[in-house]
Structure 1
């Protein structure tokens, strides 16, 4: 059981990788830290996920510069979480794209999320002094939009609620590669604290329906080949279901949040206990699952104070 709050004890630097997952398509991964993606078009570059700070964003930019000198014209943010978006200022002035729903969540809870995540994961916010403020999109969309990087088509879509209500995916038809944000993870715990458990499996099925030959997940290694893609999608679905099912049973009989915690751990620990950020995510996941099982459809806003109260109640 974790002895320190969230990931405050996770101070080790992570090794980063920059993997080509298609022709001119790359995944920036970092041993369970948030991933980014890169698509090189005819005349410019699209980056998916900004990282948590400008300092971390510059690591992605350095990787881009190792393969192309084309300007970064587009930055896609798959959802609103601080660890994904607050490094945006490092990219200059690209077109910043979010779903309408994700932007609405910045309005509703962006500052609270920043404050909360800063307390949970201080290593990811090294250099936070450079962050100029909340990240706002310059372009939003409902359902889907298409961007052309010259002749290269990029489809940005909402395929359903999962990790948040505003999740977007990025699909590159010519390479059959998808960037899923935190809807899909690989050997990393899913963070479900702002999630929608009942919808998640259907959203994963919608992703599988594209039959991608490669996926860059939100966390974990790039997934190359349809077999590995299918494995990761199935494993993500199992993680979400294994978290929710025991919690829902406890909630249905009027049991307490602490009882739900014990029940979920009994199921999840043997299967997922070694995954990256597992102990970090589990209390937030169980609290959200408990709320959803009791009919609370919109996730309650996490604040730094609520984080600590919940953690103390569950961890002791």
Structure 2
């Protein structure tokens, strides 16, 4: 395990890609950093996940302005994590959309999560002084919402818990393009610190049932074929299953958190150790898996203090 806390030592610049998936459908990716989706209709633009700060979001806006001068009408939050949502102000959207579960997370743990994530991964919060405050949705939906961007309808759905309680996808049914948020990763380690691990596999089944032909994961390259979409979902499922099965086994055996962490590292490093942010995620992932396997349904709130205590205990 790295002695440097979380990703405080990750300071290298990433190569940005602005991939076109279809007419008016784009993905802003950066070698495993958080992705942003862009959908353009006749009347305006929808941005899916904003980057962590308005300063970082301005880089996305620059790419958007290369392909359209239409206003950003909507920002969609695929879930609540500070690194995904605090850049919203840069887009000056007419509305910000989130699921009920996401809204509840902002209310319950918005400030704590912001402080926690800033401490974990400072590079992703470049220009953090430009953040005006928590990002609050203006439109909150329960299960499904259809947005018309002008001759282009976007289906917004909460198809189940997984990465968080409020995970939300954007779906273009005609093109079968899926913006999956952190429900799906590709070559990047799923972060499960706020996850519902027992629900996640069924939610992935719900995504498979859509039969996407292209997919934008939360992290990793945009995927341009049905086969790659299935591969990414299968990779995510394998990681989640291995993690939780190890946690269930550890609880049965009476292991403590450190015992589970050591067990997971032995069994999972050979399979996933080369994935992006693996060393960053594993302590948080193991902590949540241990809690859920022990019967804690609702994830504990992460604070900057809890982060450091957990990291120290597992690095001792």
TM-score by length of 2: 0.99
Contact 2:25 2:38 in 1 (8 A): yes
Contact 1:36 1:49 in 2 (8 A): yes
Partner of 2:198: 198
Partner of 1:309: 309
Displacement of 1:94: 2.5
Summarize the alignment of residues 140-159 of structure 1 with structure 2, pairs less than 5 Å apart.
Answer: 140-159=140-159
Contact 2:156 2:171 in 1 (8 A): yes
Displacement of 1:78: 0.6
| In 2, Cα distance between equivalents of 1:200 and 1:186 | 16
Displacement of 1:43: 1.7
SS at match of 1:37: strand
Summarize the alignment of residues 58-69 of structure 1 with structure 2, pairs less than 5 Å apart.
Answer: 58-69=58-69
Partner of 2:226: 226
What's the CA shift string for 1:123-173, capped at 9, x where partnerless? 111101110000000101001100001121101001110000010000011
Question: Which runs of 5 or more structure 2 residues have no equivalent in the other structure?
Answer: none
What's the CA shift string for 1:247-297, capped at 9, x where partnerless? 210112221111100111112100110111100000000000000000000
Superposition misfits of 4+ residues, deviation over 2 angstroms? none
| In 1, Cα distance between equivalents of 2:25 and 2:198 | 32
TM-score by length of 1: 0.99
SS at match of 1:79: coil
Summarize the alignment of residues 5-44 of structure 1 with structure 2, pairs less than 5 Å apart.
Answer: 5-44=5-44
Matched, 1:186 2:186: yes
| In 1, Cα distance between equivalents of 2:171 and 2:217 | 12
What's the CA shift string for 1:20-77, capped at 9, x where partnerless? 1122100100111000000010121111001100111011111111111111111000
Partner of 1:106: 106
Summarize the alignment of residues 109-258 of structure 1 with structure 2, pairs less than 5 Å apart.
Answer: 109-258=109-258
| In 1, Cα distance between equivalents of 2:15 and 2:55 | 15
Partner of 1:74: 74
| In 2, Cα distance between equivalents of 1:196 and 1:186 | 19
